[in-house]
Structure 1
């Protein structure tokens, strides 16, 4: 019995110790702060995972964005190339397709005009995230955008305008329509006042009829001393071989054109319509940026004499050839050209210069005659033919054998051939040739069409459209200036 009591007592004591030990453990555990480290570690691990996921997704996003931007940059550069014959949109799309990114091209916008092309494109890729979705970010967008432009900042223009008799006198509907159109073009390109549009665009004005009066100042810069016969007007004969080149052979001794009135039909006593025009408004104006000067000259235009398109075209092209730079400098020294253009005409190889001829006519090349040399060889002859109408004199004074007094200098077919020669070499040298056939059809229109740089450079105009036609060319040039 006693032994049994002892055993029971020991069991109770052990239970009490066990209970006490358990309570002490719980108390110590509850007081032990080292357990907090485990919770912090769990939170930190989760944070590191999120940050790592963010880094992976962002690196992947940047890699794709860089590839997308690189493809876009190369695409717009190729599309903006002025020598590129494909449509800009097609070029950009092709670059993206070959890079395996064709589905990501959003838009392509192009703007182009005379001498410039601008291409802007946008693309976008939406990427699914790998770990950032844990933070609720399921996708990232990789955008790309860029633009490229190629442009030609300097523009040299020769306006070659027909003022022959068929245009009618000042005040006639045809002449006034042409004058208004030409003045609109000048204002569109140069503005309303001198220097308003800077010095990137220059205009040379070449009125032509049966011949081209280059004016005394330009005449004296050429080698004309040997054949300088009179001071009534200032045209020079240009050898046919010179029409096959853009330049004017300044080593050549130019012969002054006879000053006389040729009227086979009409008033045979008139002396105002000489083969070489005598009026100052009919003289060539070189390298101007003064709209008032040009408009005042255009306002004085009136129809006169015959038509020699090839001579007008030759002077328009010659004033764009770099060999004429010494002539421009000479005209500047005489205050007959703007000093801002002392370096013009620029080289044909100058990628920063665009050269343009605007050639307008209302007809076609006609025959042109000269007095036989033996009746035009001294001062008394020069004065005589200045004072007398050639055919009026022959009919009233000579009457017989008058065919010996003159010779045919140009046939219409010769004029057409020389026009083609000058137009062809101009186009070969990169001159942009716009031709305007004003109320012309048939053969005359064909000559102008063949002269133009492309079918889109040839314009058939009438009295209702000619102003808009001139303005459309001017707007292209003005748009070029504004993109600089």
Structure 2
């Protein structure tokens, strides 16, 4: 302002000197030249100011176009309404700028998928209308400024697997907040799908997990194409301490067959495949039985009442899943067995006995009692754009069981994979395709150590003595480490599940809710990078983590 005053003062002085000059020609020529000279000199101030305003208007228009592109609308009138409202709000701080709404519009280019916008504003002149009123009025005291913007609605195809912890520790606020956050994410991606010019631009799968995963609704004893009756492998076949020490049964009878003998059906849950297929998306093949999937089947526990004086089996941990009569003699003696080895032998003779599965169950079999005990999860929702079904499934999730993050994650990967068991995912490497997995958990991997000869509770890894973790015993810490290592090994170049997924260009997000430092390190390491890892200190923070992930997935950008 001081410079302007000095300039004006100098011009006035200069003008006075020339007006006093009686040499007529000079005065006349200068009088004619002075207005254009002042217009050019002082108008430059306005022109420079318009240039600055234009940059502000461009920023405001870019933000408004982004808002219009993020809306769920595909018709131009509503896209225009959203854009205009946002632009007017963005320009509100600039009191000397007037938006010309008749020459401002937002519209969708259906050929490119971009929301395009053009805006015109008028900037009030500061110099010309003060010092050169005729010239300022010629421009109506306003100088025009234009801006153009485009926001490309993402034309990537996106496949997202939501892998969500449904274990008992999630009960209460954590599960409630997780449901809300997951539904909000689904809603945002549904809106993004609606904005896309691509068919089936976004598909989502849902994998609730605990100590197992329910891959189907169940209700059948006919094995799906990707499953085996498990009469020869993974806990099947006839037990033999030398040749087959890891079988759950003493006779080669398949698990679907045993469900039928009990006059009940498979509940839809599965066990993990044996190593190395537990961390690979290798397609199941009957020619390689270890690649086939095996039904979850919780064996009947030994009869408690057969030994009244030793009803707790010498204080061994007893889970209470005793749904069949063992069909073996008991004893009322104080010491029915000579020693611990004899008791253990008798215990396993009952656990492995297949013949008892032809008897009548003690009570009604359900997910709390019988071979499907613990299979009470919401079933997987395969990759789909049926967002209503996804929301319903999320709302139906319950909290139950222990934590097996590798098994849940593996089935999240299966839903994205182009390979069987589902084959719903597009081929790896497809142009403009993003495969994303979101893993949310609040706990540590666990395969509980018990005091009974089973040495563990039954879960998606069977019993510990079945060697699914490469060990047949060990304390809780040892078992957790084994499970963690299958998920993401601390040693570089060691095969693990997270590394295998990343090798397929799957983008990995992890959300760690109130977990210990070991689990934090594990989940941070599994994520694609630190920006894909979200540590959450309380149930209240779950929504914010999912919100940030949803924003990243929407992947909108200003193109120019």
Deviation for aligned residue 1:407: 5.9
For 2:205, the equivalent position in structure 1 comes to 204
For 1:187, the equivalent position in structure 2 comes to 187
For 2:428, the equivalent position in structure 1 comes to 348
CA distance 1:357–1:441, change in 2 (3 Å): same
Does the Cα contact within 8 Å between 2:160 and 2:437 map onto a contact in 1?
yes
What is the rounded CA distance, in whole Å, between the counterparts of 1:209 and 1:472 in structure 2?
A: 25
Deviation for aligned residue 1:177: 1.3
In the TM superposition, 1:231-270 aligns within 5 A as 231-234=265-268, 235-251=270-286, 252-259=291-298, 268=320
Pairing partner for 2:398 from 296, 302, 310? 302
Deviation for aligned residue 1:423: 0.4
For 2:522, the equivalent position in structure 1 comes to 447
Listed one character per residue, the Cα deviations across residues 149-182 of structure 1 (whole Å, up to 9, x for unaligned) are 79652111111110011112xxx11211111111
Does the Cα contact within 8 Å between 1:153 and 1:481 map onto a contact in 2?
no
CA distance 1:405–1:368, change in 2 (3 Å): closer
Does the Cα contact within 8 Å between 1:259 and 1:275 map onto a contact in 2?
yes
For 2:482, the equivalent position in structure 1 comes to 414
Give the unaligned 5+ runs of structure 1.
1-115, 119-144, 329-343, 376-389, 392-403
Deviation for aligned residue 1:354: 0.3
What is the rounded CA distance, in whole Å, between the counterparts of 2:296 and 2:394 in structure 1?
A: 24
Does the Cα contact within 8 Å between 1:317 and 1:426 map onto a contact in 2?
yes
Q: Which structure has the highest helix share of the two? A: 1
In the TM superposition, 1:254-403 aligns within 5 A as 254-259=293-298, 268=320, 272=368, 277-279=374-376, 282-324=378-420, 327-328=422-423, 344-367=424-447
For 2:543, the equivalent position in structure 1 comes to 467
Deviation for aligned residue 1:444: 1.1
What is the rounded CA distance, in whole Å, between the counterparts of 2:284 and 2:533 in structure 1?
A: 29
What is the rounded CA distance, in whole Å, between the counterparts of 1:367 and 1:117 in structure 2?
A: 51
What is the rounded CA distance, in whole Å, between the counterparts of 2:464 and 2:441 in structure 1?
A: 31
Pairing partner for 2:502 from 427, 431, 434? 427
In the TM superposition, 1:72-221 aligns within 5 A as 153-168=156-171, 172-191=172-191, 199-215=200-216, 216=218, 220-221=224-225
- Secondary structure class of the residue paired with 2:206: strand
Listed one character per residue, the Cα deviations across residues 57-81 of structure 1 (whole Å, up to 9, x for unaligned) are xxxxxxxxxxxxxxxxxxxxxxxxx
Does the Cα contact within 8 Å between 1:210 and 1:368 map onto a contact in 2?
no
Does the Cα contact within 8 Å between 1:369 and 1:409 map onto a contact in 2?
no
What is the rounded CA distance, in whole Å, between the counterparts of 1:470 and 1:316 in structure 2?
A: 17
What is the rounded CA distance, in whole Å, between the counterparts of 1:311 and 1:352 in structure 2?
A: 29
What is the rounded CA distance, in whole Å, between the counterparts of 1:188 and 1:296 in structure 2?
A: 16
In the TM superposition, 1:223-234 aligns within 5 A as 223-227=227-231, 228-229=254-255, 230=259, 231-234=265-268
Q: Which moved more, 1:243-252 or 1:151-160?
A: 243-252
For 1:340, the equivalent position in structure 2 comes to none
Listed one character per residue, the Cα deviations across residues 77-115 of structure 1 (whole Å, up to 9, x for unaligned) are xxxxxxxxxxxxxxxxxxxxxxxxxxxxxxxxxxxxxxx
Listed one character per residue, the Cα deviations across residues 131-165 of structure 1 (whole Å, up to 9, x for unaligned) are xxxxxxxxxxxxxx998979652111111110011
- Secondary structure class of the residue paired with 1:256: coil
Deviation for aligned residue 1:207: 0.7
What is the rounded CA distance, in whole Å, between the counterparts of 1:149 and 1:182 in structure 2?
A: 26
- Secondary structure class of the residue paired with 2:429: coil
Deviation for aligned residue 1:351: 2.1
TM-score normalised by the chain length of structure 1: 0.52
TM-score normalised by the chain length of structure 2: 0.46
Q: Which structure has the highest strand share of the two? A: 1
Give the unaligned 5+ runs of structure 2.
1-112, 116-147, 232-253, 260-264, 302-315, 323-366, 470-478, 489-495
What is the rounded CA distance, in whole Å, between the counterparts of 2:182 and 2:149 in structure 1?
A: 39
Deviation for aligned residue 1:190: 1.6
Deviation for aligned residue 1:258: 1.8
What is the rounded CA distance, in whole Å, between the counterparts of 1:474 and 1:162 in structure 2?
A: 18
- Secondary structure class of the residue paired with 1:287: strand
For 2:351, the equivalent position in structure 1 comes to none
1:458 and 2:533 correspond:
yes
Pairing partner for 1:476 from 534, 547, 552? 552
In the TM superposition, 1:33-72 aligns within 5 A as none
Does the Cα contact within 8 Å between 2:271 and 2:295 map onto a contact in 1?
yes
What is the rounded CA distance, in whole Å, between the counterparts of 1:355 and 1:463 in structure 2?
A: 27
What is the rounded CA distance, in whole Å, between the counterparts of 1:360 and 1:261 in structure 2?
A: 33
Does the Cα contact within 8 Å between 2:153 and 2:195 map onto a contact in 1?
no
Listed one character per residue, the Cα deviations across residues 254-304 of structure 1 (whole Å, up to 9, x for unaligned) are 332223599x9898479628887433x521110121222111111122211
